[in-house]
């Protein structure tokens, strides 16, 4: 039987799993829970909605900066101490966020919260990977994937409900009991693995500095690009140059450093390098599609924000059903075949969304999302197992931190790209369709005249019924143009999933549960 690396006292591994996963679920939830509450926060703190977006940006930037550092931090300070400190800091920052008297104070607290939370995702993955024996790692990764998929979906729904019924401040206070219980369980049951020695090597200050500047600038570019008009803004150009220069110098420095803060040599393994490339694109598609559907429901179908959030719940239902099966099957069969199945099924759901129209009802969205959630289970679980299998246990923390970073960066790029494609695609179709809405086009002229007559007969109070009728027609054009833009994006996301399938063939099949994974 495989040795329980993380706990020599033979603590039930599922107790460890629930402990670390509750922390990470809390952290991932906080990336989206305030999204629908920004107008309330802005109003309460005497700020504009645009200024309030820094509540999101500050958290994501701090989180992205810390993610690649967690492997190094665990090696230097110990994983148990790092996790307890991170949870305590996250919980304390949550309390301060709830007490914030003004927006600058809230943004500072969100920076602390994001920095503390950035330690949790990769270390949770490392703990689960090491705590469970090889034959049970599939179930452990299914448990991990369930949290990563459902937490971002639950965030807007829970955030909207709490804000409507209580106060936006309770979005942060709900972290307190979870944090306290997690600290207690971590201190009682968590033990560092024997190989994880606290190192006293010289600290790579140059590497840390370059990484902080590069990742921070890149994340800010993603968050503010659409708002600033992308490269029409000098500020965005400055962020892009700063990010590229810092990260290129960082890569050169780390490859030459004797004590690098991030071990980039792990990319020499083709299976791992392919796996992290895949998770970056999958993060792009997953989070891009995750923000796309609520936007479509609110903007063009008249759904209130909270109802639009609840309309995305079926994806979580599908994942909850499939994750246990995906975990079990990934331990028994070739996970590469399961991954190909998941990507194919996921692509088919994107193509299904691309066939919707403005007359679609709730159930037209429900079933494709259930299937999509099912598909994601067969993407996340086998991909994690294949990617991590060849990594030596001493490099697990470093490997999981890079894996989490690229997944999150892919998500950030996906959200930014979808927002830009949607805006520009809608404008393209408005120009195309709008060419036919004028007094010289017979069909549009007849339709507009019919509307004008109906408005007059209905006793409209408008000063100019003709102008009102043209306004109604333009609104129809705007909605139809937006829907066409959505359809284009869903086709593109589906083809992106299919394009990943050949890359799966570059990855090696993990050893069976009877042996040890490669690299151990």
pLDDT at 151 over 70: yes
Burial class (CB in 10 A: 0-12, 13-18, 19+), 9: exposed
One fold for both 1-198 and 264-520?
yes
H, E, C per residue of 308-342: HHHCCHHHHHHHHHHHHHHHHHHHHCCHHHHHHHH
Name the residue with higher pLDDT: 470 or 134: 134
Give the C-alpha distances (Å, rounded to integers) separating 14 from 24, 143, 179.
15, 10, 18
pLDDT at 440 over 80: no
Lowest mean pLDDT among 65-69, 294-298, 342-346, 381-385: 294-298
- Residue-wise pLDDT tens digits, 46-64: 887 667 778 877 888 888 8
Listed by start position, the domains of the chain span 1-198, 202-258, 264-520
Confidence tier at 519 by pLDDT (50, 70, 90): very low
Alpha helices by DSSP H, listed for 354-441, are 362-388, 396-434
How confident is the model over 351-372, as a mean pLDDT?
85
Residue 88: both structure tokens together: 């305590």
CATH code linked to domain 1-198: 1.20.1250.20
Residue 503: both structure tokens together: 């890359």
Q: What does the pLDDT read at residue 199?
A: 54
Confidence tier at 195 by pLDDT (50, 70, 90): low
Helices (H) and strands (E) in the chain, counts: 22, 0
How confident is the model over 336-358, as a mean pLDDT?
91
Q: Which residues of 398-423 are buried (b: 16+ CB within 10 A; e: fewer)?
A: bbbbbbbbbbbbbbbbbbbbbbebbe
**What secondary structure does DSSP assign to 75-98, as a single string?**
HHH-HHHHHHHHHHHHHHHHHHHH
Chain CA centroid to CA 199, Å: 32
Do residues 45 and 106 lie in contact, with contact meaning Cβ atoms separated by under 8 Å?
Answer: yes
Residue 402: both structure tokens together: 């890079």
Do residues 61 and 216 lie in contact, with contact meaning Cβ atoms separated by under 8 Å?
Answer: yes
Chain CA centroid to CA 390, Å: 25
Q: What does the pLDDT read at residue 439?
A: 54
**Residues 6 or more apart from 435 whose CB is under 8 A from it?**
none
Do residues 83 and 20 lie in contact, with contact meaning Cβ atoms separated by under 8 Å?
Answer: yes
CATH pick for 264-520 out of 3.90.1170.40, 1.20.1250.20, 3.40.50.150, 3.40.50.300:
1.20.1250.20
How confident is the model over 221-233, as a mean pLDDT?
80
Cα 234 from Cα 217, distance rounded (Å): 14
- What are the φ and ψ backbone dihedral angles of 514, each rounded to 5 degrees? -80, -20
How confident is the model over 262-273, as a mean pLDDT?
87
Confidence tier at 97 by pLDDT (50, 70, 90): very high
**Residues 6 or more apart from 235 whose CB is under 8 A from it?**
224, 228
Other C-beta atoms closer than 10 Å to the C-beta of 450 total: 11
How confident is the model over 200-229, as a mean pLDDT?
79
Confidence tier at 461 by pLDDT (50, 70, 90): low
How many Cα atoms are found within 13 Å in the side-chain-facing hemisphere of 335?
Answer: 34
**Residues 6 or more apart from 476 whose CB is under 8 A from it?**
none
Other C-beta atoms closer than 10 Å to the C-beta of 444 total: 19
Lowest mean pLDDT among 265-274, 441-450, 469-478: 441-450
């Amino acid at each position: 039987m495989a040795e329980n690396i993380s706990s020599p006292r033979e603590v039930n591994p599922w107790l460890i799993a629930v402990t670390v996963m509750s922390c990470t679920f809390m952290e991932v939830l906080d990336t989206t829970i305030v999204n629908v509450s920004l107008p309330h926060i802005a109003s309460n703190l005497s700020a504009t909605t645009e200024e309030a977006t820094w509540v999101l940006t500050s958290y994501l930037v701090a989180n992205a900066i810390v993610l690649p550092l967690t492997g190094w931090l665990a090696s230097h300070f110990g994983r148990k101490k790092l996790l307890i400190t991170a949870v305590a800091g996250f919980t304390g920052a949550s309390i301060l966020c709830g007490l914030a008297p003004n927006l600058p104070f809230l943004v500072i607290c969100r920076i602390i919260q994001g920095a503390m939370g950035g330690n949790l995702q990769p270390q949770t993955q490392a703990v689960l990977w090491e705590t469970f024996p090889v034959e049970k790692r599939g179930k452990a990764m299914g448990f991990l994937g369930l949290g990563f998929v459902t937490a971002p979906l639950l965030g807007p729904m829970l955030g909207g409900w709490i804000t409507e019924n209580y106060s936006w401040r309770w979005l942060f206070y709900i972290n307190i009991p979870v944090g306290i219980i997690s600290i207690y369980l971590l201190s009682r049951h968590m033990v560092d693995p024997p190989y994880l020695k606290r190192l006293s090597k010289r600290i790579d200050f140059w590497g840390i500095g370059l990484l902080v500047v590069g990742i921070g600038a890149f994340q800010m570019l993603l968050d503010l690009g659409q708002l600033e008009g992308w490269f029409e803004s000098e500020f965005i150009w400055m962020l892009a140059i700063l990010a590229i220069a810092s990260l290129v110098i960082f890569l050169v420095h780390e490859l030459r450093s004797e004590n690098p803060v991030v071990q980039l040599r792990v990319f020499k393994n083709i299976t791992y390098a392919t796996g992290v490339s895949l998770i970056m694109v999958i993060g792009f598609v997953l989070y891009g599609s995750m923000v796309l559907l609520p936007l479509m429901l609110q903007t063009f179908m008249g759904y209130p924000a909270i109802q639009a959030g609840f309309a995305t719940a079926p994806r979580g239902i599908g994942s909850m059903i499939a994750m246990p099966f995906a975990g079990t099957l990934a331990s028994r069969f070739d996970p590469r075949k399961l991954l190909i199945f998941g990507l194919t099924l996921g692509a088919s759901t994107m193509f299904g969304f691309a066939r919707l129209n403005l007359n679609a009802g709730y159930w037209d969205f429900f079933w494709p999302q259930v299937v999509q959630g099912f598909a994601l289970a067969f993407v996340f679980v086998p991909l994690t197992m294949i990617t991590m299998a060849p990594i030596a246990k001493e490099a697990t923390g470093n490997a999981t931190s890079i894996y989490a970073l690229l997944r999150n960066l892919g998500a950030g790029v996906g959200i930014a790209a979808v927002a830009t494609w949607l805006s520009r695609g809608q404008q393209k179709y408005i120009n195309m369709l709008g060419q036919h809405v004028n007094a010289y086009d017979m069909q549009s002229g007849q339709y507009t005249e019919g509307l004008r007559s109906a408005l007059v007969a209905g006793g409209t109070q408008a000063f100019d019924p003709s102008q009102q009728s043209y306004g109604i027609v333009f609104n129809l054009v705007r909605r139809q143009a937006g829907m066409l833009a959505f359809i284009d994006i869903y086709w593109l996301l589906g083809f992106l999933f299919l394009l990943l399938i050949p890359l799966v063939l570059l990855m090696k099949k993990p050893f069976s549960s009877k042996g040890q994974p490669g690299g151990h």
